[in-house]
Structure 1
Amino acid sequence: MNVLWRTLLVIFRARLSVRRHGTAPPETVGRVRVTTLPTDIDMLMHMNNGRYLSLFDLGRWDLLTRTGFLRTMRDNGWYAVVSSETVTFRKSLELWQRFEVESRFLGHDDRALYVEHRAVVHGEVYARAIVRARMLKRSGGTLRHEELFAAMGRPDNLPDVEPWVHDWAVASALPSTRDAAPSVWN
């Protein structure tokens, strides 16, 4: 429930920013200030590893709202689902520690959009996540990027996805939902 209220607050603030300053370009680095709360920590008194991904969602909601993607998605009955994500940790975030979630679009390939999130304290990266998301239609099926870009305009300054991101996506992929994926341990 805690993250739900934080999400609603982030979306509200991002909408205010859009009203005041207009939509941000897609290459924008979004920043959301966060504090590590008692509900975020584990028994070792630092942020729980699973909570990072939940808080990185705040950055994604902010970025989607401020760039206008969220409005376009809602207006067209589209939504994004995370198909894979990886988080890497450098330092622990302690109770009551303030940090920023920095988020940016990395680019896209023929099947997905890629976003990077960072937990940053005083300019230093504590953790980083790479997220691969697929776009779907509420009416069913996958949204082709041509449709997305027709509605949004192709972002001119969105960089090409670096080769290592493609390698990561291939290495971390599970079989398609149409294929069998038995749980067999070697």
Structure 2
Amino acid sequence: MGFFLFDFVTEYFNILAGLSFLLVSGVALLYIFWDVNYFIRVAFVMGYSKLFLPKKKPTDEAVIYGYCTTQDVDIFLRHMNNARYIRELDFARFQYYERSGLFKSIVERDGTALQGASNIRYRRTIPIFTAYKIITKLVYWDEKAMYLEQQFITLNDNFVRAIALSKQNIVGVNVCDLLKSLLGDEYKDPEKPAELDHWLESIEISSAKLREKKDD
């Protein structure tokens, strides 16, 4: 009886060890070939926004909070690296799309949203172990795209550390009609901010130069 129990326990632990190895190997492969943390964060942001945060109008500001950790810093280990700002803006946009109802409305119309262009200006670094918030605001739109302004603001001093503009191409959906359906009587044609106008002009100049090179 003792030998039988010993063999059973040994076999049980061998199977457990094998399953543990497969599990660890599978997780390691996922992290090697996929940006797992990114997808987990997207799912969390979308789920939390849908279940717990109040809805907003597309013209309202949306705020999301963050914290600069050791995974965000540059090679000097002192402040957030430049690429991390762009990544954090993604999560802020996901939250904005979900809370404003834009994500649901675009999907219902068989459309999709694509990042067409972006511009960011760094004013001051975000130090390690510093809390901040990102404010996302719709500042302009036309029939084909929406234009968002996003600000990184540190909570300890309320200073705007970085500011970004992005062009959101809404494919397969008329943006004006989309916003009219969400805003109703509150819909008004937007005024284009001066800085956005100059940025879009620079994009057109760049596109023209690239077309010239292609023709050559």
TM over 0.5: yes
* Separation in 1, partners of 2:179, 2:46: 23
Q: Percent identity?
A: 17
* Distance of 2:180 and 2:74 partners within structure 1: 45
Aligned residue in 1 for 2:58? 26
TM-score normalised by the chain length of structure 2: 0.70
Q: Which has the higher contact order (CA 8 A, sep 6+)?
A: 1
- 1:15 matched residue in structure 2: 50
Higher helix share: 2
In the alignment, is residue 48 of structure 1 matched against residue 81 of structure 2? yes
Measure the CA separation in 2 of the matches of 1:158 and 1:126: 30
The separation in 1 between residues aligned to 2:131 and 2:198, in whole angstroms, is 33
- Shifted more, 3-12 versus 97-106: the winner is 3-12
Q: Aligned equivalents of 2:86 and 2:169: distance in 1?
A: 17
- Counterpart in the other structure of 1:162: 193
Q: Distance in 2 between matches of 1:124 and 1:146?
A: 33
Counterpart Cα distance in 2 of 1:120 and 1:129: 12
1:125 to 121, 135, 160: 160
- The residue that corresponds to 1:145 in the other structure is 175
Size of the alignment, in residue pairs?
174
Matched, 1:72 2:102: no
CA distance in 2, matches of 1:57, 1:124: 21
* 5+ residue gaps, structure 2: 1-34
Aligned position for 1:140: none
Q: Which moved more, 1:145-154 or 1:3-12?
A: 145-154
1:83 aligns with 2:116: yes
Distance 2:146 2:175 in 1: 9
Question: Which of 91, 99, 106 is 2:132 aligned to?
Answer: 99
When the two structures are superposed, what TM-score results if normalisation uses the length of structure 1? 0.81
Paired with 1:110 and 1:171, the residues of 2 have a C-alpha distance of 20
- Is the Cα contact below 8 Å between 2:179 and 2:187 reproduced in 1? no
